[in-house]
Structure 1
């Protein structure tokens, strides 16, 4: 039997990049996954791959009604959630002295407030399941994995908002591990270093997203790419097939960026019974990187 057979999972941002890799991993291990994503076309592609073992909730997580609606849709489709992965996120960089209130607040909203709202909405269902287990004399561990970054510990130039939000998520997770431990719920953090995604591409007009009515420039400035040993002009010629192929980065002890599947493997460990006695922890997938650009 697969390790997550019979489990129900929620994955935010689950139709693209690291989120898609997480959804694929959990489905492959037997879980039924409700993934949230605001890109309807990406969600359609994901559903074509996963079939009846997954379902999509296409909505903007920054809409305050979406987290509750996501939990309700999950319960209706698959039952009470056993696993929640707060993966959705983006960055909106600027030097602090040039940063707008919108840029600051957007990072707090997507990386802290959305997970807060989702977990609050899921709590009654997870607590009720834990009570039922206790009455039946069995211990069943449920899982929360919040995705953070090494930027929470080391910061990033131009990303004080992102770094602060990811650090706040760690604090919330550690508090929640203490609150939810009696309900047999593990709460842990997966902190990523440089994982090769579209967000790590050079800035360009093609690398933009629209969030909450705002068009946001994604990617890394050329001068930062050059500082960590990546030729920005070469990186701009990356094809769709090469988007997730890790680049060589000599400042990382393992010599390269991480692959999205390697990020998903860490999340899977924290979702699986292998981590039943692990809670309140921050675990990194970083290739040994301990600072610098994340």
Structure 2
């Protein structure tokens, strides 16, 4: 299934895309694509519905982030060997974890703000994992039973704030609008092998990133199990899994975003995002 949230920011409604690409309203059955709606039993109930019985949504409403009420937005850094090399950082022996604040989450096609004073705002196409069942101290062999599905994430990053301002990475990762998520939450049954997904990102029509989840250092089961050793995971939590090479930081010379540009990005089977960059107000 392709689950979506649509409508004005902060007032999104739950929906799904049927096989013909028609947006259908799910609000009579779940209050949001969030929390308990992502439990295995609830997803099974939605999957058993005939989409034709759900009201079609007219027009082309804004798409919000495909998951609502996200409790944790966990990120894995330097998870592609060639990206670590282009960033001039050692290959990690364990997953590098950091958190993005949930306040940075926006829809897949919303504007991305270049923060005040920013000179090094960068792009990162990533595979996002959406948790569907609580996970704490689990083994990698059990990880997939805790995954509701997958989505596209743009882990927008301000490199000067991340790397040159002291402390942890968080201050360069959590600016408002730095977490476009969606357009769809594609349930795990439609993505049989998350380690075989091509991905790409363009800026103003120029291809900047071309990669595949095949080259991840730590795979999806390892990541979910690893994170669960440090924090309990709940339905609706998002884990984003690192980016392939081609970020602005790694170019020679580096190239960064400025207001008035357009990013387009995608992961196979998970839809396309498109954001316009604007100056923060």
Q: Same fold (TM over 0.5)?
A: no
Which structure's residues are more often helix, by fraction? 1
TM-score by length of 1: 0.28
Which structure's residues are more often strand, by fraction? 2
Q: Which has the higher contact order (CA 8 A, sep 6+)?
A: 2
